[in-house]
Chain A
Amino acid sequence: SQKIEQNSEALNIQEGKTATLTCNYTNYSPAYLQWYRQDPGRGPVFLLLIRENEKEKRKERLKVTFDTTLKQSLFHITASQPADSATYLCALDSSSNTGKLIFGQGTTLQVKP
């Protein structure tokens, strides 16, 4: 069956460290993978999109990698800050380029000062 999985346990790190979140998928061949941030009681906010032919994408302190062989994406936040504390969701297209996103369950990141 098709699955997209993120670490269900919360990730607790110290301010200034790099946070690394994992997204694994099975039985999909996504052309794109997206990452979203969600704060409690609010809708997800788009952060980054990475295409299957891109190994890495960066935006300010954020970096995403996409390994189609391992069927895995890693999401890094460098020099983390307490304001980065949120739930991070990965999502991929359920079928080719349709915008019908399948989300992982999300990983909650807590950055302690």
Chain B
Amino acid sequence: ETGVTQSPTHLIKTRGQQVTLRCSSQSGHNTVSWYQQALGQGPQFIFQYYREEENGRGNFPPRFSGLQFPNYSSELNVNALELDDSALYLCASSSTGQGVDEQFFGPGTRLTVL
């Protein structure tokens, strides 16, 4: 098990609602990346935070937003939930945010949108 934790484990929401997912990075890591993983697919990059600043974004609409705090923990917020947002949301931390670093993934939050 890595030191990356995520909460909650599971979440059920209805279409149109808003959700906040949380991630605590591994000790000493200043970079957090968020991924969305639909069933049977690989993780898709949402965005990355490095030292509290957004450091790159994937092909996701603005209703996906995030924050990183001074302790390097992070939040993913999704507004106006759609059925297609149902997925496993993964956060990953790394020490520098560079491609040469391995990323340490948390167990994920399973979001179901009804």
**A interface residues with partner B (beta carbon < 8 Å):** 6, 30-32, 34, 36, 41-46, 49, 51, 89, 91-94, 96-106
Contact = CB atoms under 8 A, between A and B. Distances in A.
Interface in B65-114: 90, 92, 94, 96-108, 110
A105 B100 contact: no
Nearest to A34: B102
B62 interface: no
Contact of A103 (B2, B4, B42, B100): B42
- 6 tightest A-B contacts by CB? A43-B105, A103-B42, A93-B99, A46-B102, A99-B97, A97-B99
- Size band of the interface chain B makes with A: 20 to 34
Given A31-B99, A44-B90, A98-B99, A103 B108 contact: no
B41 A94 contact: no
At the interface, is chain B mostly helix, strand, loop or mixed? loop
Given A43-B4, A43-B90, A46-B102, A101 B45 contact: yes
B33 interface: yes
B44 A99 contact: no
B16 interface: no
Contacts of A44: 43, 90, 105
A22 B86 CA distance: 28
Interface in B22-59: 31, 33, 35, 40-45, 48, 55-56, 58
Given A32-B100, A49-B100, A97-B100, A43 B108 contact: yes
A108 B55 CA distance: 32
Nearest to A108: B40
Contacts of A34: 102
